[in-house]
Amino acid sequence: MSERNGLGRRRLLTSAALGGATIVGASALGGLDADAAFAAPMPSLDPAVSTSVFVDGRVGQIRRGVLDVVEADGTHKLIQLTNATSIWKLETVTAEAVEVGDGLYARGVQMPDGSVAADAVWVNIVNLYVTIRGIERSRLHLSHGRNAMVGNIVEKKTTASFRGGALTSNLSQLRIGHHAQVLGAWRPADDSVDIARISVGH
Amino acid sequence: MSASLAMNLAPLLLGVLLAGTGAAKAFGRQVAGQAAGTVLVRVLNDGRRATLVLRATGVLELAVAGGLLAAPTTPVPGVAALVLGVGFLGYLGYARVTAPQSSCGCTARGNGPITWRAFVRAGLVAVGGATAAGARTAWWGQVVRDPVASVLLLAAVTAVLVAVSSDLDHLWLVPLRRTRLKVFGHPLVPGRDDEVPVAASVELLERSLAWVAAAPVVRSGLIDHWESDGWRFLQYAGVHDPEGAARPVTVLFAVDPRQTRDTTDNPAIRVTLIDDRTDEPVAADLLGALPTG
């Protein structure tokens, strides 16, 4: 935990929120969570969002909060991480969790010097359509196209959704043969995927 | 007796195996795509050359297979297969050490990373080659002379080959796993604490009116989350821009930690904007921006 979301900061924010928050009720519309990394950018009336830029590549170097990202075509982009940047790597993490070699998808604002100040960064995020081929206590055997792969079940992190229901940590309804969508974080070390969310029957 | 049986039948088994993998490499339509995932590309510095090498290896395997099947009693094809197997092992070892994520291209199929199965397969080719070199009787003669033992040995070796080929998992491994679940029960029993995962709270938030109201302000994804005073707090970063004076804010949502999309479609959510420079709550009329009716 860094200073920006340390316990003291949490306490301060909590008391500010409980003091005089607007309470809003009722329904509908989009998101900025991990799913949003794959959604087509929605037209927005907010000028800040319409000027967002997207960067997709591998982290080549990390220097004091600046990531040197190499895109697929070989071009380098500098990504600045700030206190206001959200970083996802299976869960919400801090900048220290980003490593050289990680795949990265970032949304942010173009700076005059050509770098990108990131609003949100998703690290090693993958979105796969798979078939469940085996179920064990700590992992699922999956097939993706012709390839076999391993999906790790991470305690308190892996969630499932069945037939459009809410996300739950109860995975007991998974069955061999189920077709599923897996949102997760790829682990470069052993080429497996840590499962954030597995959706069945959508 | 059984040693000579294995020696005499080895050319048949190894010949069929190499004919299969060789044909897939030499004539397979996806070999070009397959070669792209192998360590060959990096060694040769060129995808087209890697494809060529992979296809040439296929032709070589076919030639050795032809020799094993047609001239089983001469030691040359067996020795050639032994050399081929040792070569595969060396290549796999090199690839595994230098590029652990690359594919071996071994069977010209799937392009998963190199597993222990690939090593076992290559080892079997080497051992099979050494065994085949010792054949004294042609395999067809052996089968006629000793049909029962021959069929048993062929079946046993075929089973081993199937077990080390991931392409054939659906034939035996998946049914085996299914049976295990039936016998021992589902390994993923629900935990004792029925705590709502944070992802479910985020999902609830993102389908709420509170989210729609705050959307113009929120810029980041989830930055932090914690529970306090009976609420689950979800922290985002944003920019509040009331009249052209943009200032960075923390957007804090508080949701009921027990609620999910399944239990309510009308959640009560607290929204607070906190100025990042002063740490003071910002009085903002988020709801005023929403279309009414």
Which residue of chain A comes nearest to B237, CA vs CA?
A84
Query: Which residues constitute the domain of residue A87?
Result: 3-123
- Among A66, A99, A123, the domain boundary falls at A123
Q: Quick: pLDDT tens for A38-74.
A: 554 444 444 444 568 889 999 999 998 899 999 988 8
Backbone angles phi, psi at B42, to 5 degrees: -75, -40
Shared domain check, A159 and A119? no
DSSP B249: E
Shared domain check, A103 and A58? yes
Shared domain check, A38 and A110? yes
- Chain A positions in Cβ-Cβ contact with residue B290 (cut-off 8 Å): none
CB count in 10 Å sphere of residue A15: 12
Q: Give dist(CA B73, CA B124) in Å, integer.
A: 20
Q: List the CATH number of the domain containing A195.
A: 2.40.50.140
**B292 pLDDT tier (thresholds 50, 70, 90):** very low
Partner A, chain B 183-202, Cβ-Cβ below 8 Å:
186-191, 194-195, 197-200, 202
Shared domain check, A31 and A66? yes
Q: Quick: pLDDT tens for B11-29.
A: 999 999 999 989 988 888 8
pLDDT at B209: 86
Shared domain check, A131 and A115? no
Count how many domains chain A has. Answer: 2
Kindly state the percentage of chain B with pLDDT values over 90.
Answer: 38
Q: List the CATH number of the domain containing A57.
A: 2.40.50.320
In the predicted model, is pLDDT for residue B212 greater than 90?
no
Asked if B61 and B25 touch (Cβ cutoff 8 Å), the reply is: yes
Reduced to 3 states, what is the DSSP secondary structure of residue B242?
A: coil
Shared domain check, A184 and A99? no
Cross-chain Cβ contact A167/B197 below 8 Å:
yes
pLDDT at A34: 52
Q: Quick: pLDDT tens for B194-210.
A: 789 999 999 999 988 88
Shared domain check, A88 and A13? yes
Q: Quick: pLDDT tens for B215-251.
A: 888 989 999 999 998 999 999 999 888 777 788 999 9
- The 3-class SS string of chain A reads CCHHHCHHHHHHHHHHHHHHCEEECCECCCCCCHHHHCCCCCCCCCHHHHCEEEEEEEEEEEECCEEEEEECCCCEEEEECCCCCEEEECEEECHHHCCCCCEEEEEEEECCCCCEEEEEEEECEEEEEEEEEEECCCEEEEEECCEEEEEEECCCCCEEEECCCCCECCCCCCCCCCEEEEEEEEECCCCEEEEEEEEECC
Cross-chain Cβ contact A22/B286 below 8 Å:
yes
- Among A123, A140, A161, the domain boundary falls at A123
Nearest alpha carbon to residue B245 among B272, B211, B219, B275? B275
pLDDT at B100: 59
Shared domain check, A131 and A117? no
Shared domain check, A182 and A142? yes
Shared domain check, A176 and A80? no
**A194 pLDDT tier (thresholds 50, 70, 90):** very high
* Cβ contacts from A onto B, under 8 A: 227
Shared domain check, A23 and A101? yes
**A2 pLDDT tier (thresholds 50, 70, 90):** very low
Shared domain check, A95 and A60? yes
- Chain A positions in Cβ-Cβ contact with residue B233 (cut-off 8 Å): 10, 13-14, 17
- Among A76, A93, A123, the domain boundary falls at A123
In the predicted model, is pLDDT for residue A189 greater than 90?
no
Interface test mutation site (partner A, options B114, B166, B188, B235, max chain A beta carbons within 10 A): B188
ipTM at complex level? 0.83
